[in-house]
Amino acid sequence: MNDQLSSHSLDILEDTLVCGIRDFLSNAGFSRCHLGLSGGLDSALVAYLAVQAVGKNNVACLILPSRFTAQSSLDDAVELANTLGCRHEMISIEPLFTCFLETLNTIFEGIPFDTTEENLQARIRGTLLMAFSNKFQSMLLATGNKSEWAMGYCTLYGDMCGGLAPIGNLCKTDVFALCRRINEKSLLQSGKNIIPASILTKPPSAELRLNQTDQDILPPYEVLDAVLKEYFSGCRQPVKIAEILMLEVELTDRIVRTVTAMEFKRRQAPPTVMLPANFPQNRHNW
């Protein structure tokens, strides 16, 4: 399952994504963009790429905490925005979330907290981010990656809102690799990380409920991404994928069935930056 990109390939990948963002915004008539900055890895990468594409003065980061947002996530988001030098605003969604819960309390009475309440938070954020887009003629960049979207680990009309999803063709492990490469170059040039080291080391989480991590729902990303790359390279049979990767058939079958079932979400996702067909091998665009 070792499928690591070289430093040269990662540099080309960064240039491709930056160029893709810049060209897409220009073609659509936008000079500014913004995103929801969570303190997690995906939004950190998108913020960095956006600044490289259109400049720090044309990028805004909205930090939208709820009751489940860790203070460390807020600290990481603010640190990254300050390092990038772009505008950032912090707006708590807690009053809106509380209002939604109170409004729905009668019809939801007696039903435990579940993904319904989790998705409410994502959709509140999506509404605020789209309001910013309309008011300031700024394109919203979605921050989802290919691994999450393949598995439906995303919210329609929530974190999938946006005009462009810059890293929608990158699996999570490639997001990690690119972020590490960005920091590696920054350390050589300035002696400092651009992306806070804590963002790279903490367990990925949507922070939509208490103590949530991605791996509560998803397999470890190195396993998931290996299966997805085989699947999107044309190997559609779970038994064959399991044989190639030396995994349990039950696991590969579950992943493939989920990818198939979640197509309805992907069809409603924003466009992504297209990567060259031959770069790198076994990485296919949606």
Does any domain span residue 1? no
Give the CATH number of the domain where residue 204 resides.
3.40.50.620
Q: Is residue 24 part of a domain?
A: yes
DSSP characters over the chain = ---PPPHHHHHHHHHHHHHHHHHHHHHHT-S-EEEE--SSHHHHHHHHHHHHHH-GGGEEEEE---TT--HHHHHHHHHHHHHHT-EEEE---HHHHHHHHHHHHHHHTTPPP-HHHHHHHHHHHHHHHHHHHHHHT-EEBP---HHHHHTT-S-TTTTT-SSBBTTTTS-HHHHHHHHHHHHHHHHHHHSS-SS-HHHHHSPP---SSTT--GGGTSPPHHHHHHHHHHHHTT---HHHHHHHHT--HHHHHHHHHHHHHTHHHHTTSPPBPPPPTTSSTT----
Is 281 contained in some domain? no
Report yes or no on 29 lying in a domain. yes
Q: What is the pLDDT of residues 211-234, one digit of tens each?
A: 899 999 999 999 999 999 999 999
235 in a structural domain: yes
The domain total for the chain is 1
Domain around 141? 7-266
* Domain contains 238: yes
**Is 90 within the bounds of a domain?**
yes
Q: Over the stretch 90-142, which tens digit does the pLDDT of each residue have?
A: 999 999 999 999 999 999 999 999 999 999 999 999 999 999 999 999 999 99
Q: Is residue 85 part of a domain?
A: yes
